[in-house]
Amino acid sequence: MAFLELSIPCTEAEQPRIERALEDVGALSVTMVDAHADAPDEQAIFEPGVGQTPLWGEMVLTALFEGGTPSELLLHALSALDHGVDWSNASFREVDDQDWERAWMDQYEPLRFGERTWIVPWNHELPAEADTPDAAIVRLDPGLAFGSGTHPTTALCLRWLDQLAAEGVLQGERVLDFGCGSGILALAALKLGAATATGVDNDPQALAATADNAERNDLDDRLQVFLPADEPEARYPVVVANILASALVELVDVLAARVESGGRIALSGILAGQEDEVLAAYRPYFDPLRVEQSEDWIRIDGVRR
């Protein structure tokens, strides 16, 4: 089965009205990408801050319609619906049907972090190196949520958790994964010996992905997920927050309050050059604070005063 694909450039201000018009004329789906994704200075959005839905200043909206939909009729309907949009900028093409959410998984291979931690796609054969009694294996289906282990921010956190396990810090403890995405960090902590984990995210889709991955790993009885507004005000021996530097600074009081005295925290999603602001925000609460870099990304970890 083929689909008709409509693409139209727009600004952040125009995005809501254009998306609404596309949905009103029967779009099966609407997605958006950075209009300058190939530019050297493109604005990467890997994960929103809690309570935020960031967009690019200029983007391209792409809508799918049922195959056979007449493009001229579609433009006429859109123009009648919203005269203020220049629909002549729209382009069309036919695309073949495929499982869009699964296509990229064909290129996703098992990954190892530290000594024991393995992230393995749910439909991939377990590597021979991971077939050991002490391997911490997370079977993952990221779906549409952020967090597959391939990005340096996630990798930095996974290596940190693996090291905590080696030190005996995780065994039998409670862990908070703030900005849980696919649940990858909470699940890795449980596989590495944590007793229970709590995942918090502002995106309901992320919570659904986390719950699904927890069930896939037989950990659904040890992992709870919450929206930020519903999160219980508890304190944890181990807290990991893989979000963005701006959100980390904004949430310093919230996150510091979640860590027990003597507890550990890891902060990631920080671009190189942003670490000084994050360090200044967290220094009154944590000592020592340590910085580790991977490619252009920074992880900061410390111990609660």
- Rounded-to-integer distance, Cα 296 and Cα 272, Å: 5
DSSP 90: -
Task: Identify the residue whose tokens are 């995106």.
Answer: 203
- Rounded-to-integer distance, Cα 165 and Cα 199, Å: 19
HSE-up of 225 (CA within 13 Å, CB side)? 26
Largest pairwise CA distance in the chain: 65
HSE-up of 229 (CA within 13 Å, CB side)? 4
H or E element that contains 209: helix 204-216
The answer to whether 201 is a known ligand-binding residue is: yes
- Rounded-to-integer distance, Cα 44 and Cα 146, Å: 13
- Rounded-to-integer distance, Cα 36 and Cα 208, Å: 31
Report whether 132 contacts 173 (CB < 8 A): no
The answer to whether 26 is a known ligand-binding residue is: no
Report whether 230 contacts 257 (CB < 8 A): no
The answer to whether 221 is a known ligand-binding residue is: no
Task: Identify the residue whose tokens are 């789906």.
Answer: 29
DSSP 283: T
Give binding residues as ranges. 154, 179, 201, 242
Annotated binding site for S-adenosyl-L-methionine: 154, 179, 201, 242
